[in-house]
């Protein structure tokens, strides 16, 4: 049934081509659209109510104000315009689901998970409020959860200003009147004397229900309402008559439900109730104060029993995190950094199914893909991999989850810490951390905990690294108090210990900041322990507990890295020897072994800095960190993806010509050939093949289907690309059809083992043979089918598509290489099947 509000639209709105509807609400219909100018998909929102001609300039002015909001937790507005009297907004297309959909699936969200998720929303609100933008319609359907699980707010202050969030008669002033026989028709007079009521009834604040001018307090009330409902699993202000909901919030105090889940303590209940205060003066003064309160609840006070003279005996870890959030929320992307680190950590928890998801997530980020492949192609890994590694899947299989985690974590930290004003200090501290990580890995050995040692040593001074970026002025003061470091942490005579100096300048120590942030990021407990440096001298014999051994190893590696950075070349040998003697006993290694490990780590750091494009100034202290190594030739220069900037938006541009296609497919064939020699698992071979095809030819999506013996059909198993998680389960290709059944194109192609390219599936002859589910689920107009057969029987199918007709262009050489990749996958299956 068609809603009468749904506008009749052509296939185009302005330059945008409407592809398919994404959803519809009381205010607008949202479409997936194609922007031909920038060659990207966008979400286009068509407002139901027209904007009056005399109000268009005001509306566009508001749209421009919102478009300037740049925050990781905000869905950006790309454009706002009017087409044939119809106003529309163009947003980034975010793949994921709304918070409303999540809440319908999961009745209530655990309190800690809900608070962590909504802290990003608070950061978005804080930025908007500072820019004098009030959302005015914050609700679960206006919060998207992207592919990484990050909450992203949409519809800031524009659509909400055009009409109330539910249907009703339009008053002459542009607001809504209550229904004539409504029991709350007295609302109308008050609304007329002030402003139009704006928002959705169940999420209005009391003052918004009275038609008051917008204030940030309105958003904080709605925020508290959403968070309470997430945790409680029930609506607080729902009524079949929306005007009753408006009256209820206007005239009475909403209460946090008496029966709340067990993970809601009195402190959290108090925070939620304060958000819902009917009097706005009793709520939190701003989004930052509310964020601090929630962060304080997340990280309760901790007592450090081993504080010593360097720290206060009772330091609140929650206070350190609050301090960071308060100082950084207006000027950095700390929430985005936190989300990225948490995501990498979560994806590398297990060696099982996470391997595939890690590869898929990395491929979504072009910059991360390129840098990771450069890192894995340093001399250390190329030697063990038997040649250049050109696919993320091969990198994960070769290096392992822990190794990829370390490299990805390094890249994520570097990517999010770009500050031109303090670039030199940041680069120096980052390189120092990398050297410490590499040295710890060298000492412990790559076989026994080398990767865990790397990340432990690299992050032991996380607090210092974060302060160099987020609090550069305070970091400089601490440097001045401490002076150049000698003997791995002992200061010059008259200078102050770093822990004492950081406590004096910041009110908390570097270690406490690092530990609080590590806990918020969900890093493993043994890594968190490593970040609190011991205050006593190292034992003379090896530590008995693995966690304690790891802690001392991280200390030794960081002490040596400090010595290399702050010592003169003539003093370095003496300093290294003294530190080696100090730690040799507890580490169970010889003094000479430590010195040799340091030299290898410096050479390795030179390779890593080249791969990560970390340039250091000749003669700078950072130059001392690097060892002598051959200049490396970038193995990906011929075929890696390039990122470019168009209209302030990052898009992906493939190198011109066909050469890159041939080279990338050839590299994929080489990767898989090496993997087969090493008896690599079939799943890893399969992912390498799909990735090589996906990246080389720029497919929109690629899916692999495998034969299911029980159902005699090919069923979708895995894939890469846009919306592939929803598409894969749709693939069910029957291998047998009765004579009276309609011919199924996929069945015919797979049973006859024919490689087929469908250039335009809109042709009637093709449409008649496509299964019913395909048109709705795919949305593609051109696709490639590469069947797999084993012993003359259908084994599987590789499906790849593009959005528009005739957009898959293959040369004979391309097709030959694709078939080679497909045949290598079949060979992998043959190696695992009984009898070959």
- Return d(Cα 556, Cα 288) in angstroms, integer: 39
- Answer whether 825's CB lies under 8 Å from 794's CB: no
Q: And the tokens for 735?
A: 């291998």
- Return d(Cα 36, Cα 42) in angstroms, integer: 10
- Across the beta sheet with 143-146, the strand order is 96-98, 143-146, 151-153
Q: Please identify which of the residues 57, 84, 137, 760 carries the catalytic annotation.
A: 137
What is residue 1's three-state secondary structure? Answer: coil
Question: What are φ and ψ of residue 80, in 5° steps?
Answer: -140, 135
Where are the alpha helices (H) located in 144-241, listed in sequence order?
A: 187-193, 206-209, 216-232
Please name every residue paired with 35 in a beta bridge, in sequence order, or none if there are none: 40
Q: And the tokens for 341?
A: 């680190």
| Pairing mode of beta strands 649-653, 701-708 | unpaired
The DSSP line for 489-530 is TEEPTTPPPHHHHHHHHHSS-HHHHHHHHHHHHT--HHHHHH
The H or E element spanning position 355 is helix 354-364
Contacts of 481 (CB under 8 A, 6+ apart): 495, 496, 501, 504, 505
Kindly give the interhelix angle for 462-470 and 498-506, rounded to the nearest 10 degrees: 40
- Return d(Cα 665, Cα 705) in angstroms, integer: 21
Specify whether 137 is catalytic: yes
Contacts of 580 (CB under 8 A, 6+ apart): 560, 591, 592, 594, 595
Question: What are φ and ψ of residue 144, in 5° steps?
Answer: -95, 145
Q: And the tokens for 443?
A: 């000492």
- Return d(Cα 666, Cα 390) in angstroms, integer: 9
- Return d(Cα 573, Cα 787) in angstroms, integer: 63
Please name every residue paired with 793 in a beta bridge, in sequence order, or none if there are none: 790
- Return d(Cα 556, Cα 435) in angstroms, integer: 12
Q: Which one-letter DSSP state was computed for residue 22?
A: E
The H or E element spanning position 634 is none
CA proximity to 807, closest of 773, 741, 759, 761: 759
Residues across the chain: 836
CA-based angle 792:797:798, to the nearest 5?
Answer: 135
Q: And the tokens for 392?
A: 């993320």
CA proximity to 588, closest of 770, 448, 749, 486: 448
Place of tokens 């038609």: 211
- Return d(Cα 654, Cα 660) in angstroms, integer: 8
- Return d(Cα 274, Cα 280) in angstroms, integer: 9
- Return d(Cα 116, Cα 40) in angstroms, integer: 31
- Return d(Cα 144, Cα 76) in angstroms, integer: 12
C-beta neighbour count of 615 within 10 angstroms: 10
Using left for φ > 0, alpha for ψ between -120 and 50, and beta otherwise, residue 96 falls in left
The DSSP line for 79-132 is EEEEETTEEEEEEE---EEEHHHHHHHSSS--HHHHHHHHHHHHHHHHHHHHTT
- Return d(Cα 686, Cα 826) in angstroms, integer: 9
Catalytic residues: 137
């Amino acid at each position: 049934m068609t809603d009468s509000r749904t506008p009749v639209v052509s296939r185009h709105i302005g330059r945008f081509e409407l592809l398919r509807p994404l959803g519809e609400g009381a205010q607008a219909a949202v479409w997936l659209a194609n922007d031909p100018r920038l060659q990207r998909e966008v979400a286009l929102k068509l407002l139901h109510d027209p904007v009056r001609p005399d109000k268009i300039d005001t509306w566009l002015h508001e749209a421009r104000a919102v478009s300037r909001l740049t925050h990781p937790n905000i869905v950006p507005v790309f454009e706002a315009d009017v087409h044939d009297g119809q106003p529309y907004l163009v947003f980034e297309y975010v793949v994921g689901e709304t918070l409303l959909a999540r809440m319908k699936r999961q009745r209530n969200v655990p309190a800690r998970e809900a608070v962590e998720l909504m802290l990003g929303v608070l950061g978005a609100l804080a930025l908007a409020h500072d820019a004098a933008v009030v959302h005015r319609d914050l609700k679960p359907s206006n919060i998207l959860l992207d592919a990484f699980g990050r909450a992203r707010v949409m519809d800031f202050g524009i659509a909400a200003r055009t009409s109330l969030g539910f249907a009703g008669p339009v008053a002459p002033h542009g607001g809504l009147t209550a229904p004539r026989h409504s029991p709350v028709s007295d609302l109308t007079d008050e609304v007329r004397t002030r402003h139009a009521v704006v928002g959705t009834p169940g999420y209005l604040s009391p003052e918004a229900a009275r038609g008051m001018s917008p204030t940030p307090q309105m958003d904080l009330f709605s925020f508290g309402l959403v968070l309470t409902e997430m945790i409680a699993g029930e609506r607080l202000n729902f009524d079949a008559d929306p005007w009753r909901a408006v009256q209820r919030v206007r005239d009475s105090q909403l209460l946090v439900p008496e029966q709340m889940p067990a993970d809601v303590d009195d402190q959290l209940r108090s925070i939620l109730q304060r958000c819902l205060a009917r009097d706005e003066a009793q709520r939190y003064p701003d989004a930052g104060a509310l964020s601090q309160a929630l962060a304080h609840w997340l990280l309760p006070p901790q007592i450090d029993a081993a504080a010593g003279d360097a720290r206060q005996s009772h330091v609140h870890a929650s206070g350190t995190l609050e301090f960071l959030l308060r100082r950084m929320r207006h000027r950095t992307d700390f929430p985005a950094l936190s989300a990225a680190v948490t995501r990498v950590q979560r994806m590398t928890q297990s060696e099982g199914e996470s391997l595939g998801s890690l590869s898929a997530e990395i491929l979504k980020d072009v910059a991360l893909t390129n840098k990771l492949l450069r890192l894995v192609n340093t001399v250390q890994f190329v030697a063990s991999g038997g040649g250049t590694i050109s696919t993320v899947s091969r990198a994960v299989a070769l290096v392992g989850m822990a190794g990829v985690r370390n490299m990805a974590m390094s890249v994520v930290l570097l990517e999010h810490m770009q500050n031109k004003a303090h670039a030199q200090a940041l680069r120096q501290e980052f390189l120092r951390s990398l050297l410490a990580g590499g040295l710890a890995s060298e000492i412990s050995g790559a076989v026994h905990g080398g990767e865990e040692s790397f990340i432990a040593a690299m992050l032991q001074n996380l607090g210092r690294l974060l302060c160099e970026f987020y609090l550069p002025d305070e970091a400089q003061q601490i440097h001045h108090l401490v002076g150049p470091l000698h003997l791995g942490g002992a200061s010059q005579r008259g200078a102050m210990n770093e822990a004492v100096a950081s406590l004096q300048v910041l009110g908390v120590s570097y270690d406490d900041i690092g530990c609080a942030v590590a806990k918020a990021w969900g890093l493993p407990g043994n890594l968190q322990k490593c970040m609190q440096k011991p205050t006593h001298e190292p034992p003379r014999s090896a530590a008995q507990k693995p966690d304690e051994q790891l802690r001392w190893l991280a200390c030794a590696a960081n002490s040596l890295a400090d010595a290399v950075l702050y010592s003169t070349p003539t003093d370095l040998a003496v300093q290294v020897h003294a530190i080696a003697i100090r730690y040799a006993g507890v580490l169970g290694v010889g003094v000479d072994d430590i010195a040799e490990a340091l030299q290898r780590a410096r050479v390795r750091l030179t390779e890593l800095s080249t791969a990560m494009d970390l340039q250091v100034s000749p003669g700078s202290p950072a130059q001392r960190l690097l060892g002598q190594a051959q200049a490396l030739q970038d193995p990906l220069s011929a075929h890696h993806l390039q990122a470019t900037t168009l209209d302030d938006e990052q898009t992906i541009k493939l190198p011109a010509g066909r050469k890159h296609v041939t080279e990338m497919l050839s590299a994929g064939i080489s990767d898989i050939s090496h993997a087969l020699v090493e008896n690599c698992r079939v799943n890893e071979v399969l992912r390498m093949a799909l990735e090589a095809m996906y990246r080389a030819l720029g497919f929109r999506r690629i899916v692999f289907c495998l034969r299911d013996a029980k159902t005699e059909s090919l069923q979708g198993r895995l894939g890469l690309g846009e919306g592939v998680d929803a598409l894969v389960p749709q693939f069910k290709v029957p291998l047998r059809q009765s004579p009276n059944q309609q011919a199924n194109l996929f069945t015919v192609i797979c049973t006859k083992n024919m490689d087929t390219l469908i250039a335009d599936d809109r042709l009637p002859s093709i449409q008649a043979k496509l299964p019913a589910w395909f048109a709705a689920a795919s949305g593609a107009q051109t696709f490639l089918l590469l069947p797999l057969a084993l012993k003359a029987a259908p084994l599987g199918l590789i499906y790849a598509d593009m959005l528009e007709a005739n957009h898959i262009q293959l040369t004979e050489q391309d097709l030959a290489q694709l078939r080679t990749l497909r045949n290598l996958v079949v060979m992998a299956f043959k190696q695992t099947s009984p009898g070959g």
